[in-house]
Structure 1
């Protein structure tokens, strides 16, 4: 089959672009030519602290859009030339949770970009098991590859708001001004929220274009006081913590109304996962504090539909594009808040 260029994660903060063999397409798999692959906050974290289970010499990247280049003889869902979007999660299909349809909670949860080579390459091979247990969806007509690559991060946002029933008339606070927080603004609006408040710190310049009703700068304002002011002392119906900071979870409990919901959406560093929440407020105010992680089997399909219908303005997020050779620089731009969403273009030089 020849070789392809790929950015290979060798070890912590060491990514090398090299020629590697193009994977062979077996009868139940598909080979995809990667056109766009988003850089995720998880990719950045893994670049600095390492992949799960100490995996090395792996191609990272999991927010993928491309074209089916080759399809195995037993594959019926896709044919050569189909435009597809991918998400990384692969479930076992057999555990307690998978059997109940909760694929995101699979006890043997695996991922493209960790357990199988990911999208920071000219091609990605999807074996039969991943094709049946993972996420590969057709890209709706009219969507670019860059827009479709946003489907994966949007999937978890939509699933979170459906699960927590964000609905008409709600006052929603989103803490975290990265691309995920901004997608939360748009999804909350699409679901009918009447007042959307963004609390941010370093990337607030990007936020106004997504039209929240209010923006709170946590660097110069007290988020709890400001939210209470904006809600006539009542508090928000729901607060979504879309960042990796435990302090904001503590603030969320103090800015939500009685019988309100606090959603822990952003994972915090594994080295410091413990937090302290005011248990008296949770008790006396009858608060619900929940986690939200990943998405159901229809997650990617639903997200692509949201983007195709204009509920999520995907083009606005793509503020930087990099080649395979410049992925670490792209990560730096995202970390420094100089880019909202960075897209890797494997075929550009």
Structure 2
């Protein structure tokens, strides 16, 4: 079978590999869709401290079961499934308190285990142990199901930021995560959603799909001033920084309404993780600043339900579908911001 293997930063190869066999507690799937994201590009360029090469990449996975281990119950060949990416241990103090997104023992598909840029792959028992293998609802395609993983992360972020009825929401960053934030905020009852980006071309592409109440180009206007005018001077109830930008995080504090919430959703570069925060603004406006890190198995299940119900459509966000042989081209498309979502269909 064909796989995409990471060997070193800048060195990823389409290679031949033997088909894997499941262990007694594992499941083998035929990968039908594995979507790409900005993290894949970062791994391609810089590697990752959790990846010991060679490793098959890909973590936004959907496929069809072809074989189950002898100890596996409840699953059979032919079942259509989506696989969680971040795998909590299910046993530590955080997991038993319901905080699986911050499990200190977390492992991940495409990092600790071979991932979905392959024709076949093994879903390890670690996934099944935490109920992380999910049935794809009828009417949901494999490609749509693969987008459940990033939507699950977005769902976690909006739960933490308490996005809800009547909120004015600003989403900074118009990539696939930003688009999902816009759609989920609307599904949760937000009154208005404003989308911000520095890149006019990317902003126009995203806005044409998700139709925010306003699209603000940071390269052409003062973003804080624009948001304050759009909100009649009070600021936004929620600001989500869906971009790896310290400047965006600093701007968020300036455009948030009293008792508003700020989600630092996008992580910052490891060599520049510090931002300037006016603590008095946080204090006197009674602001809440929250982080957001990944998703839990339950978030993945809810994401699939949101897709299946039509509450959060994702099919039109998949702007490119490519075969496994072209996965390196997909990384370039993602890096240049030429797409919303690029899905690989091995």
CA distance in 2, matches of 1:309, 1:72: 32
Structure 1 residue 51: deviation in Å?
2.0
2-side partners of 1:185 and 1:9: how far apart? 33
**What per-residue deviation string (whole Å, max 9, x for no partner) do you get for residues 272-325 of structure 1?**
111111222112212111111122331111101111111222111111122222
Structure 2 residue runs without a partner (length 5+)? none
1:145 and 2:142 correspond? yes
* Aligned equivalents of 2:123, 2:141: Cα separation in 1: 21
RMSD in angstroms over aligned alpha carbons? 1.2
1:29 alignment partner, one of 26, 29, 51: 26
> What is the alpha-carbon distance in structure 1 between the residues aligned to residue 328 and residue 8 of structure 2?
13
Q: Could you give the per-residue CA deviations for residues 227-254 of structure 1, whole angstroms, max 9, x where no partner exists?
A: 0000111001010111100100000000
Per-residue CA deviations over 1:56-96 (Å, capped at 9, x if unaligned) read 11001010110001011221131110000112111122222
Alignment-derived partner of residue 302 in structure 1: 302
Runs of 4+ off more than 4 Å? none
In the TM superposition, what are the counterparts of 1:59-208 in structure 2 within 5 Å?
59-133=56-130, 135-202=132-199, 203-206=202-205, 207-208=207-208
The range that moved more, 205-214 or 215-224, is 205-214
Q: Count how many residue pairs are aligned between Structure 1 and Structure 2.
A: 343
Distance (Å, rounded) in 1 between the aligned partners of 2:289 and 2:331: 32
TM-aligned CA deviation for residue 54 of structure 1? 5.1
- Of 32, 40, 43, the match for 2:40: 43
The range that moved more, 144-153 or 84-93, is: 84-93
- Structure 1 SS opposite 2:140: coil
What's the TM-score once normalised by structure 1's chain length? 0.96
User: Quick one: distance in 2 between partners of 1:245 and 1:141?
Assistant: 38
Q: Deviations over 1:5-58 (max 9, x none)?
A: 101111101111111121112221100000000001111111111022452110
How far apart are the structure 2 equivalents of 1:298 and 1:87? 10
Q: Which structure 1 segments of 5+ residues have no match?
A: none
> What is the alpha-carbon distance in structure 1 between the residues aligned to residue 315 and residue 124 of structure 2?
31
Does the 8 Å contact 2:35/2:147 carry over to 1?
Answer: yes
Give TM-score, length-normalised by structure 2: 0.96
2-side partners of 1:222 and 1:200: how far apart?
11
Q: CA deviation at 1:326?
A: 1.8
Partner Cα separation in structure 2 for residue 7 and residue 183 of structure 1: 27
The equivalences for 1:211-230 within 5 A come to 211-230=211-230
Tell whether the 8 Å contact from 1:177 to 1:201 is kept in structure 2 after alignment: no
Say which SS state the counterpart of residue 97 (structure 1) adopts.
helix
- Contact 1:52–1:114 (Cα < 8 Å) also in 2: no
Matched residue SS, 1:8: strand
User: Are the aligned partners of 1:89 and 1:134 in contact in 2 as well (CA < 8 Å)?
Assistant: no
Change (3 A) 1:158 1:257: same
| 1:6–1:122 CA contact under 8 A, matched in 2 | yes
Distance, in Å, in 2 between the alignment partners of 1:78 and 1:52 is: 33
Q: After superposition, give the CA deviation of every residue in 1:85-120 in whole Å (9 maximum; x if it has no partner).
A: 112111122222112121111111110101000000
1:321 is aligned to 321
Rounded Cα–Cα distance in structure 2 between residues aligned with 1:280 and 1:8: 49
